[in-house]
Structure 1
Amino acid sequence: MNQLTRSRDSELLTLPTFGSFLRWLRDDRRMSRERLAVSAGVSASYVTHLEWGDRDHPARAVVESLVDCLDRVRALTTTERRHLFDLAGLPITSTPTVDQLRAGISDDALRILDAHRGGVAGYFDARGNILALNNAAQSMLPGLSVGENGLHWLFGSETARQVFVDWDDIARATVSGLRGRIGTFGHADWPEQLLDELGVYPEFCSIWNAGEVTFTSELPPIRLRESDAARPVGLTVQVFDVDVVDYPGWLRAFVGTRRDDPVARMTIM
């Protein structure tokens, strides 16, 4: 009778830590602790404490200095840089432009949108900026175009109110979802700017000041009007995060299919 046995090698497996990965990067560049410490402006004993896990949460300035020193010997890949900051518990705080995020979407990822023939699909960022749409989405959501902000379209376009039969429910769920997303970014600069822009819409202000927050990707049941349809069209749409190494948490996608039932669930923002 065969019996599964636990390999003794499994006892050697350890979880990744900031210190172990820092040491791996340093050894891979054949740098001594002293050389790294002098270049980074810290003591060699401090580097030792980091590598042995005695200092689990270094300050951002320290990590950036260590990265710069390692980078000068041999450039870190974007993956290595992201992993080091992740292990330090320091989120990447730089705010990407729409063009930078669009550049992070691969050609294969764009082709996936076209594979959903007859169904809506697209990419958008945490601020609601539209990064890519397939033909069905452009047809069923007129006026919502690549490079524009979906929140401005929802609150500032009369077309959006005509497209969404249940516009009020969609607006409330969208704003509460925005509040939840803003909280995940910590002290970023873009939320205040976005709120200043959206503050011109009285209905947005009213919903925002109600204080409701959600983290779900599911909106209330909605119906979409199409000009050539006798009755509202239902869609079942899923929303999910797409990881871009340089800008974690920024990219999202929606994929939806039509339903015979005129009432369906959909999430866009």
Structure 2
Amino acid sequence: MTAMAAKQSISEFGQLLKQWRQIQGFSQLDLALAANSSARHVSFIETGRSRPSREMVLRLAEVMDLPLRERNRLLNASGYTGAYAETALDDDGLSQVRRALDHILRQQEPYPAVVMNRCFDVLMINHAGAKMMNMLGLRLGGEAGPPNLLRLTLHGDGLRGVIKDWDRVARHMIERAHRQVRGAGETDPLKKLIAEVLAYPDIPDDWKLENPADDALPILPLAFELGGHTLSWITTIASFGTPQDVTAEEIMVECMFPADGETEAAVLALQDSED
């Protein structure tokens, strides 16, 4: 690496470090103490006067509890290779992850469950989930890639017409996306997706900024109006503990449970009709 390239790389790292430090609520002194360093050294690497070691970059990222994707980004910005792989879910290296996901999806029957990545692409789905998507008239996949729940929720041809209280649900979905993209670079695929869906017709301008909804409900139910019936759900989101791969860390398993007796009875009746 040339001296000029190194200086430019350090400057990029310093800007990124400062951004994340402020997002995570650290002063230079707080970060230095947590990383067993000095405020002077943190100041020097932020301003480009010193180049951090690879170990220091990883230590700072660990202290700030950054996502693995952003830890790699910090390493790259300081001139080092990333420390964490981003393995395709169908790769042999994630076979145990897929087995665990298969088990979760099976155990969730007869209620819907989906496996998504950070960008809300549906990677796996159980039988109940696929059946519900078919009932809602949604595409499960095709040449354009996997279905995307953020697009499906906000697009006029997606779920807008069947989600009860769509404005409230969609606003929560956007807030969730904003939280997941906090601190990401301009080329981040989720940031691009958010810009895409916010450009859909009739999307309020204030959704473009992170603005958490002031909602009195402890859990916001997701209700679908279908054939004169209302199916109402509450959802849980699970992730893997102690991941060491970017893909594994960003996997979300969303499981749906009946929010009322009417929905539970409808699901069980439908299951009995198939047996």
Q: TM-score, normalised by structure 1?
A: 0.56
Please give the alpha-carbon distance, in whole angstroms, between the structure 2 residues aligned to 1:172 and 1:161.
12
| Partner secondary structure for residue 225 of structure 1 | strand
User: Residue 140 of structure 2 corresponds to which residue in structure 1?
Assistant: 145
User: Residue 86 of structure 1 corresponds to which residue in structure 2?
Assistant: 62
Please give the alpha-carbon distance, in whole angstroms, between the structure 2 residues aligned to 1:263 and 1:109.
25
Please give the alpha-carbon distance, in whole angstroms, between the structure 1 residues aligned to 2:186 and 2:128.
34
Using a 3 Å threshold, how does the CA distance of structure 1 residues 181 and 250 change in structure 2: closer, same or farther? same
Please give the alpha-carbon distance, in whole angstroms, between the structure 2 residues aligned to 1:224 and 1:161.
10
Per-residue CA deviations over 1:130-176 (Å, capped at 9, x if unaligned) read 22111111222342536232111112252412331222221111112
User: Residue 17 of structure 1 corresponds to which residue in structure 2?
Assistant: none
Unaligned runs of 5+ in 1: 1-51, 68-81, 265-269
User: Residue 239 of structure 2 corresponds to which residue in structure 1?
Assistant: 241
Using a 3 Å threshold, how does the CA distance of structure 1 residues 212 and 97 change in structure 2: closer, same or farther? farther
Per-residue CA deviations over 1:102-129 (Å, capped at 9, x if unaligned) read 6544212222202211101111122222
AA partner of residue 231 (structure 1): H
Using a 3 Å threshold, how does the CA distance of structure 1 residues 151 and 90 change in structure 2: closer, same or farther? closer
Please give the alpha-carbon distance, in whole angstroms, between the structure 1 residues aligned to 2:152 and 2:64.
38
| Partner secondary structure for residue 141 of structure 1 | helix
Q: Percent identity?
A: 15
Cα RMSD of the aligned pairs, angstroms, is 4.3
Spell out the pairing of 1:55-74 with structure 2 (5 A cutoff).
62-64=52-54
- Please report how far the alpha carbon of residue 262 of structure 1 lies from its aligned counterpart in structure 2 after TM superposition: 4.6
Spell out the pairing of 1:17-36 with structure 2 (5 A cutoff).
none
Please give the alpha-carbon distance, in whole angstroms, between the structure 2 residues aligned to 1:112 and 1:257.
14
Alignment check: 8 A CA contact 1:102 1:131 kept: no
Whether 1:136 aligns to 2:128 is yes
Please give the alpha-carbon distance, in whole angstroms, between the structure 1 residues aligned to 2:122 and 2:86.
8
May I ask how many residue pairs the two structures share in their alignment?
198
Using a 3 Å threshold, how does the CA distance of structure 1 residues 237 and 117 change in structure 2: closer, same or farther? same
> Comparing 109-118 with 233-242, which one deviates more in the overlay?
233-242
| Partner secondary structure for residue 127 of structure 1 | coil
Please give the alpha-carbon distance, in whole angstroms, between the structure 2 residues aligned to 1:120 and 1:83.
40
| Partner secondary structure for residue 167 of structure 2 | helix
Q: TM-score, normalised by structure 2?
A: 0.55
Spell out the pairing of 1:34-45 with structure 2 (5 A cutoff).
none
User: Residue 257 of structure 1 corresponds to which residue in structure 2?
Assistant: 257
Alignment check: 8 A CA contact 2:220 2:234 kept: no
Whether 1:163 aligns to 2:162 is yes
